[in-house]
Homo-oligomer: A and B are copies of this chain.
Amino acid sequence: MDKEFFTISCFSNALIGDDAAVIDKNVYCKDLFCEGTHFKREWLSPYQIGQKAMLVNISDVIVMNARPKYALLGLILPKNICEAEILELSRGINDTCKKFGVSVIGGDTIAGEKLGISVSMIGELLGKATLRNGLKKGDYIAFTGELGKSLKGLKTLQNKGEICANSRFVAPNLKDKFFYKAAKYVTSAMDISDGLATDLQKLTKASKKGVKMIKKLSLAQLKSGEEYEALFSFSPKNLAKIKHIARQTRTKVTIFAIATKGSYKTHAKSHHF
């Protein structure tokens, strides 16, 4: 058992285990975004760090079928960061919040050795919550967008190459417009943060189901983490509706599996920094 899994097991309860916790009409989530674990400072500008810290949390709220509303920030600022960098970091945070209608309502700031951002996000459900445990036998399983680009960006950075500001590794492209419209037909959902194979294992475990793959995917598609595309399922009877919403919102949707009885275990290692 790894330490992360052990730690989670120390706090186990019925509210924990989805992308966000659902209480009444609200959802609550928290993701850390830290130098050394999620990025190197030479890879991302302060603006991009602020932007991505918010996007990974907003992503969790969206795949619950909730609109992000409020954020609390915990900032660990290294001693060598200057005011111009702090300003850029805050601009990345504030611009992203504005784009998604989020207000920063509080937080805490301390000095530390490495840059770290802890974000807690509060969202408001738009309808029923789309949980991980709702996958039904026979459901189609699909993902939005294209997978593999985040891993490609990461590898380029690790090989000291340069990547564009619109690279998926820098700026995940959240599919909120598609997801909010599709949500009423969605039986289960989560975002792809650890890689499709690893996240599919989490989804099927929560739903106690297996999968039959109906489309050949590349290793890069299966392993690439930090994609922040939506992994979701729906009944075949709603296929036409999902396809219509995909066209309407110009969102690529790839159906790659059907839920079966049993369980699913991947051997693909998740791949993110």
Task: Mark the stretch among A28-36, A132-140, A169-177 that contacts chain B.
Answer: A28-36
Q: Are A118 and B30 in contact (CB under 8 A)?
A: yes
- Flag A78-112 by CB within 8 Å of B: 1 or 0 each: 00010100110010011000000001111111111
A164 proximal to B (CB < 8 A)? no
Known A7-B90, A103-B13; contact A76-B108, beta-carbon cutoff 8 A: no
A246 proximal to B (CB < 8 A)? no
> CA of A23 to CA of B38 in the docked complex: distance in angstroms?
32
Q: Are A3 and B86 in contact (CB under 8 A)?
A: yes
A73 proximal to B (CB < 8 A)? yes
Instruction: With a 10 A CB-CB cut-off, give which of A32, A83, A94, A118 has the most chain B CB atoms.
Output: A118
Other-chain contact of A116, B23, B30, B76, B103 (Cβ < 8 Å): B76
Q: Are B112 and A37 in contact (CB under 8 A)?
A: yes
Q: Are A31 and B103 in contact (CB under 8 A)?
A: no
Nearest Cβ distance between residue A185 and chain B, in whole angstroms? 26
Which residues from B are CB-within-8-Å of A112? 34, 36-37, 114, 116
Nearest Cβ distance between residue A99 and chain B, in whole angstroms? 16
Known A10-B86, A13-B103, A75-B7; contact A70-B28, beta-carbon cutoff 8 A: yes
A42 proximal to B (CB < 8 A)? no
Q: Are B28 and A110 in contact (CB under 8 A)?
A: no
Which residues from B are CB-within-8-Å of A36? 112-113
Nearest Cβ distance between residue A56 and chain B, in whole angstroms? 10
Other-chain contact of A118, B74, B103, B113 (Cβ < 8 Å): B74
Q: Are B104 and A3 in contact (CB under 8 A)?
A: no
Q: Are A28 and B106 in contact (CB under 8 A)?
A: yes
> CA of A72 to CA of B6 in the docked complex: distance in angstroms?
17
